[in-house]
Structure formats: C-alpha cells, structure tokens
Structure 1
Amino acid sequence: MALFGRKKLTIGLDVGSGLVKAVVIDHSGPVPELAKVVITPLNDTAIVEGEVMDHGIVADAIRQTIAATGAKTKNIVAAVGGRDVIVKKIQMERVKEQQARELMRWEAEQHVPFDMDSVELDFQVLDPDGDGLDMSVLLVAAKRDLVEAKQSLLTEAGASPAVIDVDAFALHNAFEANYPEALTGTIALLNIGNEATNLNILDEGVPILTRDLGVGTRRFREDLQRENGMSAEDAEDLLRGYDRHPMLDGVVSMRGEEIAIGMERAATFLSTSQRNFGTIRAVYACGGGARVPGLLPWLSDRLRIPVQPANALAKLAVREGAFEFLSTDEVAPLLMLPVGLALRAVA
C-alpha cells in the first residue's frame, strides 16, 4: 500500500451494464500517470437497459473493484448519462456570470424537455472574453433522481463520490488528452457499450450534442445466438475475435445500420438547429463494440467518413504493473470513460 501513500490519486469509476471498471490516476507528478486498472464483470441481469435490477450484486461489484485498486483515496469520480441527461450548446444575451446563473433556469426551460423542479442544472460560458451581444453557453441538465440514484448506489457500496460528472464530458476529457490534434472541425465520439451507444458530437473541441442510441454489444450477441444457435460464450468469442467471421456479416450490417442512422439523424438535427454547423469529418469509436471485427470499416463505408478506434492510452503515461493480469490491447477500448473520469483531479 505504500505505493499509493500520500499521492494525489483519483479513481474514475464506470459502472456499466456488463462491467464495473475502475481506473486510478496519480496526479502528483509532472503528468498524470495511470497507476491501476481493475475490471469486474457483472451478470447480464444485474443492470438492464440502464436500470439497476439487483442493487446488492452491483454494490458488491463496486466495493470489490475499488478494494482491488489498493488505492487509499476518497477522490472517486463517477458519472451519469443517458436520455435523462441533456447537453446542449445555446446562445443567450451576453451578461456577467452571476446574472447568467440567475437567467439560466429560464433559458433551460426553453431548451430542456424536463420539469425544471426535477433537474440539476449547470453551465459553462464558452466565449467569456467575447465582445458580441450574444455569448455561447454549454448547458447541462440532469434529472435529479438519476443523480440521486447513482449517489445512493455508490454510498451503498461504501464509495461516496467526490464528484458526479457527465459521461459525455468524461469521454471528451480522455479524448482531448490522447488526441489533442484531432479536436478541429466537427467530429463524433462513439462509445459502443453493452446496452447502448453514446454519441458525442464535438465542434472545435466543444461538445454540442450528446445522444444515446439503443444498440450495444448485447444486441450483437443476442443476434448471433438467435440466428446461429450458438451459446452466449461462443457469440462473445466471435465479437472479441481478431478476425471477421462470416457469421458476423449480417449482424454487423444490421446493427451498424442502426448506429449509422442514429448518427445521421443527430447530424440532421444539428444542421437545422445550430448556425454554421458543418459536416462531421471523422468518427472515433471506443467501448466494447469498437472491438467487433469489421464494424468500424463497415461504418466508415456506410457513412463515407473515416471511422477509427480511439485508444484511451494513446498518450497517457502508464505505470509498470498497472494492468497486472489484464491484456492491455483487449481492455484499452473499454477505458475511455473511466480514464476521462480519473483525469479529473479532485481538489
């Protein structure tokens, strides 16, 4: 344990529907250093469609995961996401920050389809030094019961978070740290998870839209089982394989089409609601689905833009032994979200 003594550590905790992932980052040196990665599997029924079905199992997995990091710190950063979180770039009259804070509730009522009494609001002025009559503001709204449910689950696991972030911002943090040269023009980040795919569209490095698409690797696996009569384990082996098996062709095209249509609809929405919105020039994919053989090339052909994997470790310093018995190549696509959370140094 002395390895972690008096260090400035942050644990990024990602509770997914198939895996609980914890990343420890040490902020005490000249650059952030990844010190430990722990991944704990969950059974298929513990979390379904984002809903925690068995709090005991999930809380135990969280407790086990954090304990396995060996990090003695209370600086745990978790996140919320999904349809009950709205991230939107808006324009409003240029005022001082205090006045903007007072006006934000009224502004949110114009843009957020939730009852204002049931949400947590935050915002960031994107051009604080501008001199125009209007200013660009990134508005964030999350349903209060979503935040409270995440806090309650973590408290039950003995892991009260220091910060509750938003999935889209954590993905952005990790991407910015590893691909700073890519944050020009309009790009899309795809986090293809077990239950859903999170789409995050950035314009000049600023998140302007986040949306969840209802397709994830669970659908791929179930399709393979149903169409080929194979077990869940055999289907998972195909999805994690390095070669594109012919059995994957139909699944990749069917579920890939859902992802492509979701992206096209998001782009159409932005083109009609945002002034000066250009076209998406590139897509960067992470999450377990990014490993599905043939999926990213298929999406690239379908969308007619480059679609490439995003590696959360591309430029991140990694301490020897951080992965212990894990295969770095296999788990790296899974770490964009927890790395982004852990990169947030907690005061």
Structure 2
Amino acid sequence: MLSGRNHYLGLDIGASGPKALILRRCGKVVDIAAAEKLDIAEEGILTEKELYQSVRDWLQSRGWAKLPLVLGTPQYLSTTLVSDFPAASSSALSAMVEHEARQLASLSDEAFVHDYQPLPAGCGRQQPVLIGLCREQTLRERLRLCAEAGLRHDGLAMTGLAMVNAYCWCHPEAACSPQPVLLLDLGKDNSTAVVFAGGQPLFIGSLLFNADRFQKAMAERSGASKYDEKPSPERVNLLDEAPNSALLVAARQLETEIHNALEHWRNQEQAEMATALIEQVYICGGGSQLGGLDAWLEDRLESRVEVFGPLVGGVRRPEFVVALGLALQAAGEAELSLSLLPADIAWRLQRQRRWPWLAAALALVVVVLVVLEASWWRRSSRNLAAHRVRIEQLSQCGNYINGIEQLQRRRRQLEAELLPVVITGNQARRATAAIAHLGRACADDDWFIYLADEASYHAKRMSGSKLSAQRSTTPPAPAPAAGMFGATAKPAVLSDRTAKDEFPALLSVFDFPCNHAYIAAGYTPLQAEQPFEPIRNLVRKLNAGQEFHGVDQLSEQDRMGREDIFRPWIAFFKKFPKEEFKSFSFRLPLASPDVRPLPVAAAEEVEP
C-alpha cells in the first residue's frame, strides 16, 4: 500500500490500454516508483463503462486507488492558445482571459470550461498566457463514467500538455531553450503535435494519423518469412521496407500530417518565430516503438529525431510519456498545469481535499478549548482563593483604618488645644525678630516710632475713628485692651459653629486670633528731588529678608484714625523748623504663619 502523502498517480486511459505511472517524492526529489499497463484485450473489455470499471478494479488490486490521481483528456477534445496580453493585475488578466475564451467559443452555443496560466516572456511575446478550452458536456460525460465506476480522481488534464510536462522533466536543460522543437505523441487512436520553445507551447494540434495504421500495415504484409504471423513493432526496420510497402505508405501519411501541422503553426505564429527551423523532433507513444521510424523521419524531415520517454526499470518506455506528465501535475511538479474540471466539481474536490485539514482544525480547536477551559478553571480557583484571603485582609484593614481615623481625630483635637499656647508663646519671638529686622533695614537717618500687630493697630483705629463703616478687608478679630501686646479682649463676632446660648463668651480654638502682619511707622529725612526714594529703599530691604513678605505702605484709608501715632512727633518737629522729615507707615506681612490652618473637614471633626 502506497502512501498518498508522497506518491502521485497519472492515469492515461488510451485506446491501446490504460497506463498508470506513480511518482514518489523523497524530500525535494521526485522519481518514478512504478509504471504499469492494463491489457484490455486480455480482459475482454467491450464498452467504455466496462473499461472504467476494470481500471477501478485494477487500481484497487494494486493499492493505488486512494493516491492523488490526475486523468488525461484526449487533446483533440480541447483547444489551446497562447495569447499575448498587456501587463495587468491578476483580476484584470482573469477578465481578459474570460473575454478571450468567450471569443474562442463564440461559434458554439454550448458551455465551455477554460483555464489559463501566465508563461515566461519570449518568442516575440511580452506577456504570454496559455489558455485551455474544452466543451463542458464532454468533460461531464467523462466524469460521469468515472463516478458510475467509482473511480476517484483529483483533476483532468490535456494529454498534449502532459507530453510537454514529461518532456520538460526528461530534458530539463532544453525546456527553456529558445530554439523550437517538435513533440509528437503517436497514439493508437490519435496523434498530437506540439511546437515548444522558450517554455511556451507555441502550437498544440491533433494529427489526422494514428499508430493503428502501422498495426494494420503489418497485418497486411505477406510473403516475408523472417517475420512472425503477428510481428511486434520493435522487430520491424522501416528502413528495410520496399518502396511500395504498406508501412512506408503509413509513414508517408505521418510525414504529410507533420508538414501540415508545421505549416499551420507558421501561418499563425509571430513573425519572429515563423521562420525558425525545427532542428529537433521528439517522438513518443505506442507508434514511436516502430523500428527504424526515428531514423526514417530524421531523413525525411531533415532534423534530428529522438524517441523519448521515462526510464522504467532501466528501459525507456515512450508509451508512458502522457502518464508521466499527468503524474507530474498530480504532484504539483508540472511546468504547465491547466485543470479542465468544471467549477462546481473543482470546488467539491477542493472541499474534499480540505476536509481532513478541517477535521484536524476542528479537533485542534476542541482540544484548545478544553485546555483553555481547564486552565481558566484552575486560574479562577486560584484567583478565588486569593480573593478570599484578600477580602479577609481588607476586612482587617478596615478595622485598622477605623482605629487610625480615631487616632487622627484625637491628634487633631490635641493639636487644636495647643493652638493658643503656640500662638501666644510665639508673639514675643516674632516681635523681637521684627524689631531686629527693622533695625537692619533702617538707614542712618531713618527711625521707627511705632510697631504693633495688625489686629491691635486696627482695633485702636476703629475705636478712635468716627467712621461708621467698618473696613471690609479687615478680618474679624477681638480688640486688644491696650499696648502693643496687651491682653486680648472678647471677640466682636463669635463663631456660629461654637457659640452657645448658655456660654455667650465662649471662644473656639480656631477663632483664637493669630497675627499675620505687623504695622510699623517712622520717619526719614525728606529729599526734595526724590521724596519717596528712601521709603522705597526701606521696602526693598524689608522684602529682601526672610521675616516679611510683600511689605508695602499702608493706604490712606488704613492710616485714617491713627493720627495719634504721629501727633507727638509733629509737635516735636516744630522745634526744628529748618529740618524736614517724611513720614511712612508700612504693613509687614509675615513670611510664614505661626500655625498652618487645618483643612475645613478636619476642623469640623474637632470639637471646640
């Protein structure tokens, strides 16, 4: 039993008997594994149906029935043409070939099957394409016989192209030669002639000649004692025949048909190749076995004539040339591979060939799905266990977070209770640092006469002023009793959040007054040309330090109500009428507060 993975069968069901040849693939090398012929005379086959059934039984008995198989179709049933098309894409080329095929079949109302293959440029053609055409009804009749007999196949191919493929396999060095050669397949019922050059079958046609004429001529011969009653063709020497011999008459008919075929080819060929000489002729088929035929044709055609065919068991077998070409197409090694299967049958066979791959793919998908499902289940189990542990940890974390939040609230409450202590204890250090910074900023003729925190300054201004409207930008603050750092009085406005009816004077720690700026006043000698230049120098020096930020003069409105600061000095300056001085009042914002303000949400959590 041969394996269909590396063995391929070509089947030539000819009139002399079916011939089968098997190719074997070993790596990249393809060689002949077997070649056999079924003798239909011994089988007693009478009808075509019996012929196909006998072929089926023969292949089954040899174990070849399941091998990839390509059947041969007689060349006279099909038409081939090499046309030169303009450069185009695959889809455009297919459309042009479709149009050309309809033109070839325009004289008939029947349906046709066609196929095409691009060829290498040459022989006067830039974009040559080989087109094959055959009547669909003829092909379906042949396929019906195969189906009724149970003879499976993988394709149909023309015997003429099969001969060309066999020639390219047997003579690979001459397959691309630009010199035209003539290939002749002398079959029992029909003969085929092919003109081949540069990888292109320039002409494929049938001859009105068959090898059966040689058999009839030998049967009519008489009086030749050196021959048996039924001599074999190999024992005949055509060169020894008499001038009026029936064999020579048949040979001359073959010569005439060859000349007619060549003339027909030259009439339709490109001008570049029409005058080319045929220097080599290759003959094959059963008729080529006639002794002396090659030498006789060489003399008559004035060209070299050679019998070619595959070597089977060390013997050249020209009758297996077509079967070899069909096997090459089954193996995918053919130079010219045209399929004549109708579209529906080709699609069905393609599905059948792909079915094992589809089944394997489905099985693979099922295996992959099962593996993925198992993997997902294991991963889900591990994740579920990990999530349970994580949930337990999160539950513990929730308890810890509640405890931490309680500790944070307690810490904020304790920090809030420390606010009055921090603010009050920091006042002396802030005042000392402010005085030292003012001293460093003063020039030799400058002096300060007043320094107070902003709340004390404005409280004194509001109490001494006759203005009815309170300054809108002044933050609500308790009025100090007196002095620069005197005791703080009760706040004018209590917090709604902390005020209670039973304790109207209760003060929240968050409402405890915190100093944000100092107010300083003083004098500097008046410069007539630039009266404000000394004041600007003082502002620059004060802003350059680290204690204050954004030092600037008080506005006229903020100075109103505090004339008491400058009144004693004005009276004093009257004693020196020749001296002139320029007064100034500065607001000295602190660069950093004593206490960072708590967020609103955190402050709301702390009880007063």
Whether 1:262 and 2:247 are equivalent positions in the alignment is no
**Bigger Rg over Cα:** 2
Which shifted more, 105-114 or 169-178? Answer: 105-114
Counterpart residue number, 1:225: 219
Q: Cα distance, 1:224 vs. partner?
A: 2.5
Provide the aligned C-alpha RMSD in A.
Answer: 3.0
CA separation of 1:7 and 1:80: change in aligned 2, threshold 3 A: same
Whether 1:190 and 2:184 are equivalent positions in the alignment is yes
Counterpart residue number, 1:153: 145
The one-letter code of the counterpart of 2:310 is A
Q: Secondary structure at the match of 1:153?
A: helix
Counterpart residue number, 1:202: 196
- Aligned-pair identity (%): 21
CA separation of 1:25 and 1:224: change in aligned 2, threshold 3 A: same
Counterpart residue number, 1:9: 7
The one-letter code of the counterpart of 2:24 is D
Whether 1:122 and 2:101 are equivalent positions in the alignment is no
CA offset digits 1:155-177 (Å, max 9, x no partner): 23322210111112211111111
Which shifted more, 171-180 or 251-260? Answer: 251-260
CA separation of 1:96 and 1:310: change in aligned 2, threshold 3 A: same
Give matches, 1:228-307, under 5 Å.
Answer: 228=222, 237-241=231-235, 243=237, 246=240, 250-275=245-270, 276-277=272-273, 278-307=276-305
Whether 1:56 and 2:41 are equivalent positions in the alignment is no
Q: Cα distance, 1:134 vs. partner?
A: 5.9
Which shifted more, 84-93 or 188-197? Answer: 84-93
The one-letter code of the counterpart of 1:71 is W
**1:336 maps to which of 313, 321, 330:** 321
Asked if structure 2 preserves the Cα contact closer than 8 Å seen for 1:196 and 1:216, the reply is yes
The one-letter code of the counterpart of 1:83 is Y
Q: Distance in 1 between matches of 2:42 and 2:89?
A: 49
Asked if structure 1 preserves the Cα contact closer than 8 Å seen for 2:310 and 2:317, the reply is yes
The one-letter code of the counterpart of 1:161 is H
Relative to the length of structure 1, the TM-score reads 0.82
Q: Distance in 2 between matches of 1:197 and 1:209?
A: 14
Q: Cα distance, 1:78 vs. partner?
A: 0.8
**1:76 maps to which of 69, 73, 97:** 69
Q: Distance in 2 between matches of 1:176 and 1:310?
A: 11
The runs of at least 4 consecutive aligned structure 1 residues that moved more than 6 Å come to 44-47
Asked if structure 1 preserves the Cα contact closer than 8 Å seen for 2:75 and 2:158, the reply is no
Asked if structure 1 preserves the Cα contact closer than 8 Å seen for 2:119 and 2:199, the reply is no
CA offset digits 1:61-81 (Å, max 9, x no partner): 312331243236241111212
Asked if structure 2 preserves the Cα contact closer than 8 Å seen for 1:123 and 1:139, the reply is yes
CA offset digits 1:228-271 (Å, max 9, x no partner): 399xx956524132655855862332222222222222222222
Q: Secondary structure at the match of 2:309?
A: coil
Q: Secondary structure at the match of 1:159?
A: coil
Asked if structure 2 preserves the Cα contact closer than 8 Å seen for 1:87 and 1:141, the reply is yes
Q: Distance in 2 between matches of 1:152 and 1:46?
A: 22
Counterpart residue number, 2:20: 22
Q: Distance in 1 between matches of 2:154 and 2:44?
A: 25
Query: Which segments of 5 or more consecutive residues in structure 2 lack a partner in the other structure?
Result: 333-352, 354-608
Tell me which protein shows more helix as a share of its residues.
2
Q: Cα distance, 1:307 vs. partner?
A: 0.9
The one-letter code of the counterpart of 2:12 is D
CA offset digits 1:16-64 (Å, max 9, x no partner): 00111111112243311212222112249999xxxxx712321233123
The one-letter code of the counterpart of 1:257 is R
Q: Distance in 2 between matches of 1:116 and 1:186?
A: 36
Q: Distance in 1 between matches of 2:47 and 2:55?
A: 13
The one-letter code of the counterpart of 2:266 is S
Q: Distance in 2 between matches of 1:201 and 1:113?
A: 26
Counterpart residue number, 1:103: 96
Counterpart residue number, 2:164: 172
Q: Secondary structure at the match of 1:343?
A: helix
CA separation of 1:146 and 1:287: change in aligned 2, threshold 3 A: same
Which fold has the larger relative contact order, with Cα–Cα distance below 8 Å and residues 6 or more apart in sequence? Answer: 1
Asked if structure 2 preserves the Cα contact closer than 8 Å seen for 1:88 and 1:138, the reply is yes
Asked if structure 2 preserves the Cα contact closer than 8 Å seen for 1:192 and 1:290, the reply is yes
Q: Distance in 1 between matches of 2:284 and 2:190?
A: 12
Q: Distance in 1 between matches of 2:42 and 2:216?
A: 12
**1:144 maps to which of 136, 156, 164:** 136
CA offset digits 1:86-141 (Å, max 9, x no partner): 1111123332221121222322344457537421111112248x9x9962111111
Which shifted more, 249-258 or 12-21? Answer: 249-258
Counterpart residue number, 2:583: none
CA separation of 1:86 and 1:133: change in aligned 2, threshold 3 A: closer
Q: Secondary structure at the match of 1:293?
A: coil
Q: Distance in 1 between matches of 2:3 and 2:181?
A: 40
Q: Cα distance, 1:152 vs. partner?
A: 1.9
Q: Distance in 1 between matches of 2:174 and 2:4?
A: 35
Which shifted more, 280-289 or 154-163? Answer: 154-163
Q: Cα distance, 1:198 vs. partner?
A: 1.1
